[in-house]
Structures are given as C-alpha cells and as structure tokens.
Amino acid sequence: MTTTPHSPAPLPLRVGERLALAPAREDMMQEYHRWETDPATVVGFGARWPVSWDVFRARFLSSHTSAHYQLFEVVTADGAEPVGTTALNVDQAVNTAEFTLVIAPEHRGRGYAAEATGLTLDWAFAIASLSAVWLEVLAPHTAAVNAYLKAGFRPAGRLRSAGLWQGRRVDKLLLDCVADDLAEKR
C-alpha cells in the first residue's frame, strides 16, 4: 500500500513518556481506516466484518465536527509518528463518555494502549471535565483488558454472552473510570 504524505504533525495536547495525544487529522483518514479494518481490530471490536471506506469516511466527516465526539490521534512523543487513535463519545446529559482505542497493527505489543488510554483519561477529566469515562471490551481480549486496568479503569459489570469473538458468544466487560480513580493510581 502506498502512503500519501500527511500534514505536519499537530501540536500535542497531552504528552506522556513515549506518546502524545493530538487532534485527529482528516488527511490521515485512510490510515485510520486501515487500522480499523485490520482483522485483529475487527475481532477485538466483536464485529462481523470491517467497515467500508464510504461508511468510515462519512462517519469520520460527520463526527469530526460534532461537539459530542472527539477523536484523538496518538503519536510518538519524540517523532510524532502516528501509532493509533482514541475517542471519547460524550453523553452531554450525564457528562460521561464512552472510550474507544485503536492501535495500528504495526505498533501493537509495545505497551502503547495503556499510555494512550491514560493520556485520554487525563484529557477527559482535567480538560473536558467529564464525570466518568466507560468502555465495553470483550472478555477474551485480555491484552486490552489489562491495558485498560493499568491505565485506571475499574470493573463495572459484565454482560453475559453479549459479544462475538472469533465466531463464538462471549461476555462483554464494562469498565469505568472517574477522576478519583486516577488520583488514587498516582
């Protein structure tokens, strides 16, 4: 796959040890789509098939201008190399957000998920003033579960047989985090 040149790296919003959080860029849509349609990502989300380019593009363009949805690009802190995305889908009525994460296939296994999650939680509480952030994760996706717990999420519940993992029914875990959870972690 040939890659197209991207705009200069955006100014980081939050900087961690190895990663930084930055605004998502429209010219990175094809890369974001590639990451989300990777077979391991599709399985991790419990989806049956990847999202088409047209659907992905329409979703990106509509959500990119929404006050209720914030997509971040996760980049290396030293060279601003894109390694993934995180998102907060805010429910304004209750001041909470659902969290999602995608790490590029070529950057998995490096411990980036926990740091990217932590940076996003820091933004959610320190800047966006959210009261809680939550997520759903499939129980067999232990790498994701461990990364989320390491970043500060806590178990909040279990939906039995509510997801699909490689063709079989599995439990979905509900995890949540409030600002006090991060304060206790530090």
Which domain CATH number covers 98? 3.40.630.30
- Residues with Cβ within 8 Å of 56's Cβ and at least 6 positions away in sequence, in order, are 29, 32, 33, 36, 37
Q: What pTM value is reported for the model?
A: 0.92
Q: How confident is the model at residue 65 (pLDDT cuts 50, 70, 90)?
A: confident
CB neighbour class for 10 (10 Å; exposed up to 12, middle 13-18, buried from 19)? middle
Measure the CA–CA gap between 119 and 13, rounded to whole angstroms: 9
- With respect to residue 53, please indicate whether it lies within any of the assigned structural domains: yes
pLDDT of residue 103: 98
- With respect to residue 19, please indicate whether it lies within any of the assigned structural domains: yes
- With respect to residue 160, please indicate whether it lies within any of the assigned structural domains: yes
Count Cα atoms within 13 angstroms, Cβ side, for 79.
Answer: 3
pLDDT of residue 9: 65
In tens, the pLDDT along 84-141 reads 999 999 999 999 999 999 999 999 999 999 999 999 999 999 999 999 999 999 999 9
- With respect to residue 3, please indicate whether it lies within any of the assigned structural domains: no
- With respect to residue 100, please indicate whether it lies within any of the assigned structural domains: yes
- With respect to residue 4, please indicate whether it lies within any of the assigned structural domains: no
Does the pLDDT value for residue 56 go beyond 70? yes
As for how many domains the chain has, the answer is: 1
Are 99 and 120 in contact, with CB atoms under 8 Å apart? yes
Domain range holding 138? 14-185
